[in-house]
Amino acid sequence: MEAGTKRRLRVWDELRTAYIEQLPYMDPGTLLYRRRNYSFDENQARQVGAKRAGILRSVWAILAQDYDILELNEPLWVRRWTALLPYVLAVRVRRLLFRRPITVVAYAMENNDIPAAIGRMLPYAGAIASRIARLLFPIIAGQYSRIAFATREAQENYELLGLPSRVERTTIWPIPTRCDCLGALEKQPEVLFLSTLEPHKGIDLMFELWRSSEQVRGAYGYKLRVVGKGGLEERVVNLAAEIGDVIVEIDPPRARVHELLRRAKIVLLLSQPHRYWKEQVGLSLTEGLAHGCTIIATGETGLAPWLADHGHAIVDASSPPSKLAETLRARCETPVDPHAVLSSLSGIDGRLVADRWMANGIIVGN
């Protein structure tokens, strides 16, 4: 390690393949993770040196390892407070014992009022649990030095919930660069859904939309390709067989995902409101951009303002299938030129810009 380079420890609760692909371009450091996301590649994780660790091992690393910057998950990820609270406590202990500064950072995307969502989830103890969450949040968040937000909506959400003023913050859109896998652009008439197969991703609405899109399927020759895995796999396969012009691929390898993104003209994600969940960004949306795709998404995603400003289609999540069919028809007839999509992207991936800002407080290259 070069002289003056800041040593970094990342303690992430969950790891997925898309994060692993970005790690070689981030500032070097040690990465510990506790859980594997549904999209996880063991070989890739091994190649980047990621190590699986439980809560106790991670606490020990926070206390004992030599580092300057500690990156934790965002403080509003309440479902992971059982891990985050011990980590934050370990930070407090280390600061008291060693009397040396530690820069604690996070990359934050949560755009939902989580304490309010907790109140809706728990019919009996909801009000008490929501109040506790509102009291704990600024205490936990106050242990962080810097938080980089993926969207303006996420930053506004944190500030409304009481993010302490001493925490440095900025918003850096998670706009990707052109994917390295792209050669000559050879887009096919395909609409691609790429996500978990769960109700809140708008699965039923998507199929209703496709039923209502005879012109797209007939005159324009488009096919719908549904790619992912999750609790609705069987339902998706059955609906696809019933409707026709729908291709389903369950959990394909990562190389196949890139191939499908290269082919698709349209990436579709009709995220729906949920009592405790809101689409933060939508990985398929940023991956679609990186491959020159036109995006159709609902206003639920925190990326909606950026997409609308750059010619993509943002629809209301409550729109009826007939209204959505009009949008789909218009976009299939006249998609955003793939070269224009790629030209709108960042010179450096927004997540990497955020990674560097978290280390030194300076925005470079975005």
**What's the pLDDT tens digit per position in 186-203?**
999 999 999 999 999 999
pLDDT interval class at 1 (50, 70, 90): very low
Does residue 243 have a pLDDT over 70? yes
CB of 61 closer than 8 Å to CB of 53: yes
Query: Class assignment of domain 8-175+347-360?
Result: alpha beta
Out of 3.40.50.2000, 3.20.20.140, 2.70.70.10, 3.40.720.10, the CATH code matching 188-343 is 3.40.50.2000
How far is Cα 234 from Cα 247, in angstroms, rounded to an integer? 13
CB of 207 closer than 8 Å to CB of 197: no
Average pLDDT over residues 20-26: 89
Residue 149: exposure state from Cβ atoms within 10 A (0-12, 13-18, ≥19): buried
Q: How high is the pLDDT of residue 94?
A: 94
Q: How high is the pLDDT of residue 365?
A: 67
Average pLDDT over residues 110-135: 86
Percent pLDDT > 70 in the chain is 98
How far is Cα 277 from Cα 146, in angstroms, rounded to an integer? 25
**3-state DSSP assignment of residue 70:** strand
pLDDT interval class at 313 (50, 70, 90): very high
Does residue 3 have a pLDDT over 60? no
Size of the chain, expressed as the number of residues it contains: 366
CB crowding 204-217: b at 16 or more within 10 Å, else e = bbbbbbbebbeebb
Q: Which amino acid is present at 70?
A: L
Does residue 323 have a pLDDT over 60? yes
Q: How high is the pLDDT of residue 20?
A: 87
Domain ranges of the chain: 8-175+347-360, 188-343
Higher pLDDT, 78 or 224: 224
Does residue 110 have a pLDDT over 70? yes
Q: How high is the pLDDT of residue 2?
A: 47
Q: How high is the pLDDT of residue 116?
A: 86
Does residue 40 have a pLDDT over 80? no
Long-range interactions of 248-252: CB distance < 8 A, separation 24+: 249/225, 251/38, 252/227
Q: Which amino acid is present at 270?
A: L
Q: What is the mean pLDDT of the chain?
A: 92
Look at 2-6, 91-95, 163-167, 280-284 and tell me which has the smallest mean pLDDT: 2-6
Q: Phi-psi category of 311—alpha, beta or left, where left has phi over 0 and alpha has psi -120 to 50?
A: left
Look at 7-16, 122-131, 232-241, 271-280 and tell me which has the smallest mean pLDDT: 122-131
Does residue 342 have a pLDDT over 50? yes
Higher pLDDT, 1 or 339: 339
Q: How high is the pLDDT of residue 366?
A: 62
Does residue 99 have a pLDDT over 90? no
List the structure tokens of 282: 């939508």
Going edge to edge, which strands form the sheet with 146-149?
51-52, 30-36, 8-15, 69-72, 103-108, 146-149, 168-171
Does residue 175 have a pLDDT over 90? yes
How far is Cα 364 from Cα 352, in angstroms, rounded to an integer? 10
How far is Cα 297 from Cα 354, in angstroms, rounded to an integer? 24
CB of 20 closer than 8 Å to CB of 44: yes
